[in-house]
Amino acid sequence: MRKIIASLDIGSHTIKLVVGEVVKHKLNILACIDTPARGIKKGFIVNPESAIEALADIFKKGEEQLGIPIKKVIVSIPSNGLNCFLSEGYTTISNPEKIVTSNDIVRSLQAAVYNKIMDNQELVSILPTKYLVNDTVVSDSPLSMKAEKLKVKAVVVTVPKKNVTPIVKCLEKINVEVVDVTIGALGDYYEFKNSKNSGEVGALINIGASKTTVSIFNKGIITSSEIIDMGGDNIDYDIGYVYKIGRKDALYIKENIALADKNVAQVNESIVVEDKNGDKIKINQYGASEIVTSRLEEILNLAKKQINLLTKKEISYIIVTGGVTETTEFKNVVNYIFKNAVVGEVLEIGARHNKFVTSVGLIKYYDSRLRLRNRDFSIFNIEEQEELSGIHKKVNISENSILGKLFGYFFDN
């Protein structure tokens, strides 16, 4: 079975849908779509009717790209009110061979959360820190080991149900099944996970349109996360306020004229726009960049302060990502604020924009959960996979076309 997974990231400005296939632990992007968000504020559904329309629109676009409808998806939900706590659970190995199976791993994880989650909370992830086989042998992956008893120690991650329920209900209205929910920070981490940072303590900063999320990871396990109510929107408002121009013009200036670092901006680069009074005004690159740099420095300094509040451990790495990091010369501002930070970039062909970081990373996260449990999964059944591959499709090619003549040459001779 092909392993095809779809993930959905619901933002304030845009909704992102990514479909990818995992082949030999490598992710290949099959579809990557975004559409303007409606009825959504900071990841929360505020107008269900508008949100349903926007969600229906992106799944329609997904179907147009793939040729078949997407009916199952993993969803990123708001991390407001996130709670992480340590827990443990165990199970006895009941099969005659006394070999740990994937079912035994699942049962141990279920035991770790049984009766430990409050009624108003929703489980979004169980992250094993280690397994104990017969209370002595420690293993990261106990599958196929001989044992009488399997014990797991894990970090349990929950959020309030109000973060989850409205999103799931809206997707149900358009006949899309939510196969899993989790937080965006886990997707961000798994997009940049490697053998080095999986053994260190680090921070991930995602600067989105309306908010900035700061998360701490200890050896690949999220330990805390906090939200700063500030993002790319604030830059738009700043530009609009200073120059007394509309939001659309402010956004255009931010994305096409201004630089993240005012120190490399040019005074002679300029654009003429109309202000709210209808008067023509000239805005040069340096002036616009001053506004952008100021706000970005504020956001990054707040994130830096938040990291110090979230952990007292020494930070080995800081990764800054999110749609705002696509601003030209953004890396310069990061270097001004942090000594050991890098800008995390999405490198998968077909999704090379940092606004897709969460969606792409969530597919990798979900695949890692599947491998841990030795499970196969695809959003498409066998018949749909064959349709996706075009196995049963007849290609209609005119004999008079160049391609038709090539087909004739190869198959008639």
How does residue 382 score in pLDDT terms, banded at 50, 70 and 90?
confident
Q: Residue 289 falls within a domain, yes or no?
A: yes
Report percent pLDDT > 90 for the chain: 84
Do 331 and 264 meet the contact criterion of CB atoms below 8 Å apart? no
Whether residue 183 lies inside any domain: the answer is no
For range 233-261, the mean pLDDT: 95
Query: Pick from 227, 201, 209, 226: which is nearest to 318 by CA?
Result: 201
- Distance, in Å, from the CA atom of 130 to the CA atom of 115, rounded to the nearest integer, reads 21
Give the pLDDT confidence score for residue 139 in this predicted structure.
79
> Of 278, 296, 314, which residue sits at a domain end?
296
Work out the pLDDT band at 357, boundaries 50, 70, 90: very high
CATH of the domain at 255: 3.30.420.40
Mean pLDDT of 207-225: 96
| Inside any domain, residue 363 | no
If you average pLDDT over residues 350-363, what whole number do you get?
Answer: 96
pTM confidence score: 0.90
Strands (E), 93-148: 121-133, 137-139
CA 19 – CA 203 distance, rounded (Å): 27
Q: Into how many domains does the chain fold?
A: 3
Q: Is the pLDDT of residue 394 over 70?
A: no
Q: Which residues, including other chains, have CB under 8 Å from residue 44's CB and lie 6 or more apart?
A: 78, 163, 166
Residue 288 has which token pair? 């616009």
Amino acid occupying residue 351? A
Phi/psi of residue 92, nearest 5 degrees: -90, 145
> Which secondary structure element, helix H or strand E, spans residue 59, and what is its range?
helix 48-66
Residue 205, in any domain of the structure: no
**Structural domain contains residue 317:** no
- Chain mean position to CA 65: 20
Least confident of 217-221, 267-271, 291-295, 385-389: 385-389
Task: Give dist(CA 39, CA 56) in Å, integer.
Answer: 13
What's the pLDDT score for residue 410? 40
Q: What is the DSSP letter of 391?
A: T
Is residue 247 in some structural domain? Answer: yes
Average pLDDT (114-136) is 93
Compute CA 79 distance to the chain's CA centroid, rounded to the nearest angstrom: 12
- Is the residue at 90 inside a domain? yes
pLDDT 10s digits, 31-48: 999 999 999 998 899 999
The boundaries of the domain holding residue 236 are 232-296
* Of the residues 267, 296, 325, the one at which a domain ends: 296
CATH number at residue 140: 3.30.1490.110
User: Could you tell me the two tokens for 240?
Assistant: 């609009």
Range 320-338 average pLDDT: 97
Average per-residue pLDDT for the chain: 91
Q: Is the pLDDT of residue 1 over 60?
A: yes
Contact 207, 298 (CB under 8 A): no
Q: 231 with 85: CB under 8 angstroms?
A: no
In whole angstroms, what is the distance from residue 334 CA to residue 318 CA? 10
* 380 or 193, higher pLDDT: 193
Classified as helix, coil or strand, 291 is helix
CA 267 from chain centre, in angstroms, equals 37
The answer as to whether 375 is a domain residue is: no
DSSP for 102-121 reads: HHHHHHHHHHHHTT-S-TTE
The answer to whether residue 396 scores a pLDDT higher than 80 is no
What is the mean pLDDT of the segment spanning 51-65?
Answer: 96
Domain boundary among 273, 296, 319: 296
Question: What pLDDT shows up at residue 391?
Answer: 53
Give me the pLDDT at residue 25, please. 87
| Structure confidence at residue 403 as a pLDDT band (50, 70, 90) | very low
374 pLDDT more than 90: no
